[in-house]
């Protein structure tokens, strides 16, 4: 069985909400996850409520507990930072605050026996840590935050082992109850985390006009592999007879026109289908089917390779022409190139590329004519093809490299300035970058997530 979820702006919200363990609680009111379903705006909310430590630092065990809770709190803060990046709008937290205050006072009202409670507390904490374990593989999928995630992994593993020690000291407790709670929590957390990962394109909103500059045709982009603090913009005006790449330190600098560096490429480019990936620019060399990898740090071409049998120089361009035969792009899964060959009758071929050697790792033949495609972009290993570069264009066809199957789709988008010469997905920003008739625009995407459950066969 598969559970289906939609998400607009994925948000995992782990909150530690305190209450004093020197008060009686029902087991269910220890560690728990509230409302893991999406809210009205499509955000995924996980509110984890944990026992408070501050009033209970009288003995060694309590201090230990205090430290552990602090760690969990640190992890949860990091997760919030992680999500600030993806959802850009934190208003929801404000609204949640009063809800949380209500819960806190509710817990405070409950009085009771201290001793059973302390034991209970460790049980809950241990249960919680067990429940965090399944997050590890899920977090692993969220590649763009690999560094933060490996930190979480270490923390979660460490906390679990520390808790195991405490558990031994404290002795027996109700395994059955713990197990049941672990199962429930695991399911909910997993659902929440899965929403951060790949999905199927459902909707395109926008565009938001970032800047108006350059000719009618061009490309602009950021590096999906860059660390979250770095948000350089690269700008490549025109589709031919140019080899100047402008770099800006941020989108704000780009809007203000404050350039930080200029690169003079050794070869002219063809088309507008370049991509910046992991510190290198990948582009199609003018009048050839050669792909060039230019490294920004060294300011040199580090690799060049011909894309065998690919049509070039307006043999198989997109509908608008402009030598847009060879389209380089990146998604969650890596680097790709989209083109057409005579062997595939001018229909689109998708190839996965090795980002270092530019060798083709694997190819898929579609039945969609490249000359009838307006643009194409890759999300999570699925290629989405628009049917025109003009007003009324929509995402008309999709091809999944996972299943090697295609689908006709009907996903409209607003072609605000009537001519689209570039449309590329950026996995880090979860946005489509577009060059819309001399306007640099951004579209938001809504992805539909298929969450695997244990029942999956
Ligand atoms: C939590 O983070 C703070 C600030 O980074 C750090 O000083 C503290 O030691 C961390 N606590 C634990 C238990 O890791
Ligand atoms: C795990 O945490 C404990 C207590 O904070 C610390 O002493 C230990 O070095 C940590 N182990 C690892 C592998 O990080
Ligand atoms: C995308 O969604 C975010 C969050 O709602 C919003 O702030 C931003 O303006 C949207 N961008 C576009 C291009 O619509
Ligand atoms: C990005 O480049 C660094 C070295 O610059 C390399 O270690 C890393 O594996 C690269 N990542 C990808 C996804 O290619």
List pLDDT tens digits, range 201-246: 888 999 999 999 999 999 999 999 998 889 999 999 999 999 999 9
User: What structural domains does the chain harbor?
Assistant: 2-194 (no CATH), 200-452 (2.40.128.630)
74 C-beta closer than 6 A to ligand 2:
no
CA of 210 to the centre of ligand 3 (A): 12
Average pLDDT for 398-424? 95
Residue 406 Cα to ligand 3 midpoint, Å, equals 29
Q: Which of 277, 278, 302, 332 to mutate to test the pocket of ligand 4 (most atoms within 8 A of CB)?
A: 278
**Structure tokens, 304:** 């060049």
Instruction: Taking residues 1-19, report their average pLDDT.
Output: 29
177's tokens = 């109850």
The whole-number average pLDDT for the span 144-159 is 58
User: pLDDT band at 198, cuts 50/70/90?
Assistant: confident
Our answer on whether the CB atom of 227 is closer than 6 Å to any ligand 2 atom is no
| b/e map 118-134, b = 16+ CB within 10 Å | bebbbbbbbbbbbbbeb
Total residues belonging to the chain: 457
User: Does residue 205 line the site of ligand 3, with CB under 6 A?
Assistant: yes
Evaluate the omega torsion of the peptide bond into residue 23 and state whether it is cis, within 30 degrees of 0. no
CB-CB contact of 290 with 306 (8 Å)? yes
Lowest-pLDDT range of 172-186, 259-273, 392-406, 428-442: 172-186
pLDDT-based confidence at residue 446 (cuts at 50, 70, 90): confident
Q: Please check whether residue 423 is in contact with residue 439, taking contact to mean a CB–CB distance below 8 angstroms.
A: no
Predicted model pTM: 0.60
More confident residue, 435 or 126: 435
Percent of the chain predicted with pLDDT > 90: 51
- Please state, rounded to an integer, the average pLDDT across all residues of the chain: 73
Computed from CA positions of residues 407, 413, 418, 420, in that sequence, does the dihedral angle turn out positive or negative? negative
Burial 353-382 (b: 16+ CB within 10 A, else e): bebeebeeeeebbbebbbbbbbbbbbbbbb
Check pLDDT > 70 for residue 327: yes
The pLDDT of residue 202 is 84
Residue having the nearest C-alpha atom to atom 4 of ligand 4: 278
Of all ligands present, the nearest one to the C-alpha of 251 is 3
pLDDT exceeds cutoff 70 at 398: yes
Largest CA distance in the chain: 81
The reply to whether ligand 2 has any atom less than 6 angstroms from the CB of 205 is no
Please state the atom number of ligand 1 nearest to the C-alpha of residue 68.
Answer: 13
Query: Tens digit of pLDDT for each residue in 329-380?
Result: 999 899 999 999 999 999 999 999 999 999 999 999 999 999 999 999 999 9
* Selected residue with higher pLDDT from 191 and 154: 154
CA of 115 to the centre of ligand 1 (A): 28
CB 296 within 8 A of CB 243: no
Residue 193 dihedral angles phi and psi, to the nearest 5°: -65, -35
Compute, in angstroms, the gap from residue 63 CA to the centroid of ligand 4.
41
Distance, CA of 17 to CA of 104 (rounded, Å): 7
Q: Which string of b and e fits 315-340 if b means at least 16 CB within 10 Å?
A: bbbbbbebbbbbbbbbbbbbbbbbbb
Cβ of 81 closer than 6 Å to ligand 1, yes or no, is no
Of 178 and 337, the one with more pLDDT: 337
Q: Which phi and psi (to 5°) does residue 14 adopt?
A: -100, 120
**What is the per-residue pLDDT across 29-83, written as a single tens digit (0 to 9) for each?**
334 333 333 334 444 444 444 433 333 333 555 555 556 656 665 665 655 555 5
Q: Which of 61, 67, 158 to mutate to test the pocket of ligand 2 (most atoms within 8 A of CB)?
A: 158
For ligand 3, atom 11, which residue shows the shortest CA distance?
A: 444
């Amino acid at each position: 069985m598969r559970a289906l979820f939609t998400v607009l702006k994925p948000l995992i919200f782990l909150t530690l909400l305190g209450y004093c363990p020197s008060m009686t609680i029902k087991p269910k009111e220890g560690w728990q996850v509230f409302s893991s379903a999406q809210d009205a705006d499509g955000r995924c909310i996980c509110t984890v409520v944990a026992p408070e430590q501050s009033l209970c630092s009288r003995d060694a065990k309590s201090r230990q507990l205090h430290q552990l809770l602090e760690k969990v709190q640190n992890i949860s803060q990091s997760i919030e930072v992680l999500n600030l990046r993806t959802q850009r709008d934190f208003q929801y937290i404000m609204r949640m605050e009063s809800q949380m205050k209500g819960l806190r006072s509710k817990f405070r009202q409950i009085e009771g026996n201290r001793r059973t409670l302390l034991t209970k507390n460790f049980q809950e904490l241990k249960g919680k840590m067990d429940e965090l374990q399944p997050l590890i593989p899920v977090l692993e999928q969220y590649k763009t935050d690999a560094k933060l995630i490996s930190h979480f992994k270490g923390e979660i593993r460490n906390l679990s082992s520390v808790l195991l020690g405490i558990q031994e000291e404290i002795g027996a407790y109700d395994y059955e109850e713990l197990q049941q709670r672990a199962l429930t929590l695991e399911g909910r957390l997993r659902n929440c985390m899965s929403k951060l990962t790949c999905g199927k394109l459902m909707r395109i909103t926008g565009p938001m006009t970032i800047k108006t500059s350059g000719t009618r045709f061009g490309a602009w982009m950021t590096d999906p592999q860059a660390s979250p603090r770095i948000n350089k913009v690269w700008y490549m005006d025109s589709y031919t007879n140019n080899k100047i790449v402008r770099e800006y330190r941020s989108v704000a600098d780009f809007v203000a026109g404050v350039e930080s560096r200029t690169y003079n490429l050794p070869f002219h480019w063809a088309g507008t289908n370049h991509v910046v990936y992991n510190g290198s620019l990948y582009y199609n060399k003018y009048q050839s089917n050669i792909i060039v990898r230019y490294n920004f740090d060294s300011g040199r071409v580090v690799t060049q390779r011909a894309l065998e049998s690919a049509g070039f120089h307006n043999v198989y361009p997109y509908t608008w022409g402009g030598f847009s035969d060879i389209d380089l792009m990146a998604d969650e899964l890596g680097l790709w190139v989209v083109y057409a060959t005579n062997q595939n009758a001018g229909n689109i071929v998708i190839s996965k590329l090795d980002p270092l050697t530019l060798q083709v790792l694997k190819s898929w033949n579609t039945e969609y004519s490249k000359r009838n495609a307006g643009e194409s972009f890759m999300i999570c290993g699925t290629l989405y093809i628009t049917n025109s570069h003009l007003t009324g264009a929509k995402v008309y066809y999709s091809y999944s490299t996972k299943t090697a199957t295609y689908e006709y789709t009907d996903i409209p988008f607003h072609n605000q300035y009537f001519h689209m010469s570039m449309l590329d997905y950026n996995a880090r920003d979860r946005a489509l970058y577009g060059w819309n008739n001399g306007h640099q625009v951004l579209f938001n995407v809504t992805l539909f997530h298929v969450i695997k459950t244990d029942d999956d066969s």
